[in-house]
Structure 1
Amino acid sequence: MDAPLVTILDDEPQIRAMLSEALQDAGFRTATFARATEFEAALRHTTPDVCLVDLGLPDRDGLAVVHRLALESGAAIIIISGRAQVQDRVTGLELGADDYIIKPFDPTEVIARVRARLRSPKAPDRAQNTARFNGWTAQFDSYILTDASGVETPFSHAEGEVLRLFLNAPKRLISRQHMQESLGGAAGDSFDRAMDVRISRLRTKLGEDPKNPRLIKTIYGAGYIFLGDVTWS
């Protein structure tokens, strides 16, 4: 089996070279790009496992690239940026990124974050990528939610990680600590905010009433419970 492929989109050649060398030494395959147009052209023929994306690109808004990736690709998305403001991090996560690393960084931190993103929660059987619950069908091989009338809604890799975690443990309390241990990433306000964003987006896509959700219930001070009846195939 081929090693996981990590694509690096950054206009700084030193950063591309540093990340590529560190990731290859850690056992990953890499492909590097300086411009969004080159990166998006390569995606027509290449399926990366993880995409590292800088926000300060010469030919495209990096956040727009992240949003398109989240909608159209099954790859995990990690933003690497010099923008350290909280609002930039929040916006990146809301648009579908899985993680956010601020420049300057240690390459070992990037490797650890990449590995964490590749440790996705597993379904009861690795061959089972379709879950059905309460009139919904979630297809994790194509990142599509289908409602009872056949209307399809795409979900991102980040949202899929959380949804799979819920569907693997219906009607059981899932604590924030368990989510952090299962999904990877450093515990703290950034992780909690990322989870809040993903769960909010999932509730919207599932047509939940934000004031009284039927499927994903918040147990304040404890975590979440998914109340659906789930079958995998």
Structure 2
Amino acid sequence: MSDPPPHVAILDDEPEIRRMLSEALTEAGFRTTSYGRATEFEAALKRASPDVCLVDLSLPDRDGLALVHRLALESGAAIIIISGRAQVQDRVTGLELGADDYIIKPFDPAEVVARVRARLRKPRAEAGRSPQIARFNGWAAHFDRYVLIGPDGTEVPFSHAEGEVLRLFLEAPKRLISRAQMQEALGGAAGDSFDRAMDVRISRLRTKLGEDPKNPRLIKTIYGAGYIFLGEVAWG
């Protein structure tokens, strides 16, 4: 039996945008559900977790950025913001709070389909062949559950965006990973917003791993070059 097509949840208070996105994504082979209010969207998430969430920031019943931050902490879904807020600071804030991508209105539906496919391509391609658990320095990273288990058994959740960065490090331990390599592997436009988003995600990973921010042992910054993960990693 073949796997069901990826599920995309659409949260936008404009019916025409919901219809346009749903039609484009359905035609491209995705399953979609649409919501006009955050309360409906959050209630649906308790029943089933989508693969991708498309979230508008200007919602009638909830602060969009706060919702994105909560999704990043609690959901394993990829998060793509779709918003009319075009200022650089809005994009940076959205990425810093855990979004995987940011699309500015007005947009071409074909671009949204392409961005959704890009967010799903690497994780889905790897799901069938790559181990989903990595062990290092007393820690275990469960990418199927988006949780870190510490040496004392404590469970620490991580977001989809943080998981992408962590997997990148764990798949290339003790090798320098440059910003350019991170951008190529993770997608998104290079520039200040991408760099700041990476800084935030790496800082959060260090905090979750109990690292000393002034002298981290596992994720080392090589200034002007990139990062090196110094742990001993075993997959499976």
TM range, smaller chain: over 0.9
Q: Does 1:225 align with 2:224?
A: no
Q: With structure 1 as the length reference, what TM-score do the two structures score? A: 0.93
Q: What is the distance in 2 between the residues matched to 1:203 and 1:125?
A: 28
Q: What is the distance in 2 between the residues matched to 1:144 and 1:48?
A: 18
Q: Residues 124, 232 of structure 1: CA spacing in aligned structure 2 closer, same or farther, 3 A cutoff?
A: farther
Q: Residues 168, 40 of structure 1: CA spacing in aligned structure 2 closer, same or farther, 3 A cutoff?
A: same
- What are the within-5 Å matches in structure 2 for residues 25-174 of structure 1? 25-120=27-122, 126=129, 128-174=131-177
Among candidates 5, 8, 13, match of residue 7 of structure 2:
5
1:94 CA displacement? 2.4
Other structure's SS at 2:151 match: coil
Other structure's SS at 2:92 match: helix
1:124 CA displacement? 10
Unaligned runs of 5+ residues in structure 1 are: none
Kept in 2, the 8 Å contact 1:9–1:54? The answer is: yes
Structure 2 equivalent of residue 209 of structure 1:
212
1:70 CA displacement? 1.4
The percent of aligned pairs where both chains have the same amino acid is: 80
1:123 CA displacement? 6.3
Kept in 2, the 8 Å contact 1:218–1:224? The answer is: yes
Q: What is the distance in 2 between the residues matched to 1:200 and 1:123?
A: 25
Structure 2 equivalent of residue 20 of structure 1:
22
CA-to-partner distance for each residue in 1:67-124, whole Å, 9 max, x for gaps? 2211221100011111223332232222221111121222222122111111235769
Q: Residues 69, 199 of structure 1: CA spacing in aligned structure 2 closer, same or farther, 3 A cutoff?
A: same
Other structure's SS at 1:196 match: helix
Runs ≥4 residues deviating over 4 A: 121-125
Number of corresponding residues = 233
Kept in 1, the 8 Å contact 2:78–2:99? The answer is: yes
Q: What is the distance in 1 between the residues matched to 2:108 and 2:201?
A: 27
1:229 CA displacement? 0.2
Q: What is the distance in 1 between the residues matched to 2:167 and 2:53?
A: 21
1:53 CA displacement? 0.4
1:189 CA displacement? 2.4
1:127 CA displacement? 5.2
Over aligned residues, Cα RMSD in angstroms? 1.8
Other structure's SS at 1:224 match: strand
1:187 CA displacement? 2.2
Unaligned runs of 5+ residues in structure 2 are: none
Q: With structure 2 as the length reference, what TM-score do the two structures score? A: 0.92
CA-to-partner distance for each residue in 1:208-233, whole Å, 9 max, x for gaps? 22222111112222221110000111
Other structure's SS at 1:119 match: helix
CA-to-partner distance for each residue in 1:126-146, whole Å, 9 max, x for gaps? 352111111211111111112
Kept in 1, the 8 Å contact 2:96–2:196? The answer is: no
Kept in 2, the 8 Å contact 1:113–1:185? The answer is: no
